[in-house]
Structure 1
Amino acid sequence: MEYVISLAMFAAVYIIVVTGYGLSAGLGKQFLISQAAMWGVGAYVYGILSLETDWPTAVCALLGVAGGVVASAVIALTALRVSGIYLAIVSFAFQIVFVTVLQNLEITGGQSGLAGIRGMSSIGPLTETESALLVAVAACALVVLAYRVLHGSAFGLTVRALGEDPQVLEGLGVRPAVLKIKIICLSGGTAALGGVLYAQYLSYVDANAFSIHVSITLLSMLIVGGSRAVLGPAVGALFYQLIPQLLQYLEIQAAEAADLLQILFGLLLLLFLLFRPEGIVAPPAPALRAARTSRPPPSPPPGPGVGRDRVAAAEGRS
């Protein structure tokens, strides 16, 4: 039973983190390679506050989410004038610095990490583990629902326009820089929420769980699942979680299985980029494109003789 709860818990956390990633990197095409760092900010802020203060668990959790928003704002403001590969480089640098700082600060536990983090309080007759799973599943459902509503809203269309052509937004009176900061902060706050739930469940965090390899894996989940579809991030997260479970039946040693897992993730990413870049869940066709395809073809223009007959008829009437 504990194993099933663990799988469900990690599935909910991954869906939350990757769904937040879908807002910035999927709809907005702002490719930051630092989603794992935002995930880690939420986990570490909550962990430090739960260990060093007597504040209520809910307050520590909210501050953990706020920490992810603030850290995302730092990246967005630093990379305000860049986009594309340059934005990815800035976020990559932040990711490396973040992990290095975690491994060398005393308050973060250094290489040993943080242990004894306050867990979720029991809800009714449920145990602490079951309560943590219940909260995580509820949070996951709310995040996916909010993403679904945002995906089809006017704000979601504006975010798509940011990824396609920011100059169009400027012509409509929307400042692309401000919109970029908003979606990056929302994405980082969502990832930090996943970090808070992760820390509550394990009662332990360390820097290796939020390394650059994890950020690349999260990006792979998004691309494989479908970066611009509503359920694409969730499907990608579940798909990537299913692969390690399948490897367990091959009776491979742990070290070899970890290396094989990275190879499989890389191959899957290459195959999807080459043969199905839209991902497992393809986004629906835009309404305008669907209307154009369903519209009957226009009638052919009249021949040259028809025009002369109309001119002659008009001259005869005059």
Structure 2
Amino acid sequence: MRRSTEIEDMPGLLQDALGKGHRPVEVVRLRGGTRKGVYRVLVDGSRAASVIVYSWSDAENFWPAGREHASTDPFAPASGLSLFLTAQRTLSSLGVRAPEVLLVDDTQRRHPADVAVVEDIDGGTLEALLETDPTRAAAVVNELAGMLDVMHHHHSGRHGGVDVLRRGGTASGGSCEQRVFDGALRDVKEAARRDERIERAADALTDRLHELAGRVTPRTEYGLIHGELGPDHVLIDADGHPVLIDIEGLKYFDIEWEHVFLQIRFGEHYTAFSRRGLDQQRLDLYRLAMRLSLVTGPLRLLDGDFPHREGMQWIAEHNLKEALALLGRDVGR
């Protein structure tokens, strides 16, 4: 049975992060985390009414064992305190807002797992704001687009996770386009074992991936991308500014990968992010590969005991239909 973080785990953390006299009043696990626990802790004391605690406990990782990844793989599971800290420091150095870090501990003396205490950005998500106040949300989206311009124009001659590159490593898997292509081929095989519609279209999907990959020309400069930037991964601070979360996957990569994800997740609001000069051949390959990834990933997660199953089932089904639509295929059962 999985053990979530409880209120008795918190007193030492809070006193070290905020000072003596602060104690936890309530601990609430926030929905959505698949690799780490995210908790809002209500605090009795003078400095803060609440903080967020990230816990990288094995019990908080809902992904079942499966495909092995080298640690240098740009798409290796992005989870861990070191990845978070490197990403947070990298973004902060560029003036891109991420939650302020109040305390980190990898000794497991205060807490049974690697842990970070960060500020609580309690203005809600951009996803919610787009629904409730589109006018205010438009200003946040425009500011977010400017933040991404800063990131995407922060170039590196090497691609890979920021933590890997910081340690002098090199990304495995070949070029960006080769890694995406190889991953998409694996996704086709894996999804075909789980859904007969993908199984029926597997040859056509494979042929299409080969065709699209053959059109992409080499590149030697890469931008900094979040890697999974949907409106649910953007919080609004007290002054109405966007704050990036779930940043552990920060990497130097083809910015077209980010733009495809933005197109999918922001829909009609993507126009604020649209930029000239994107490589159409990469966009075409990455669009199909992204859809396949968003089928296989949720289906793998559903092999385990992830609790919020309906949402994952919807993501897999929606993207399966979109992937097949890119082939002009019937998406019925």
Instruction: Report the TM-score when normalising by structure 1.
Output: 0.26
- Please tell me whether Structure 1 or Structure 2 has the larger radius of gyration of its CA atoms: 1
Relative contact order, higher structure (CA 8 A, sep 6+): 1
Task: Determine which structure has the larger strand proportion and give its number.
Answer: 2
Instruction: Report the TM-score when normalising by structure 2.
Output: 0.25
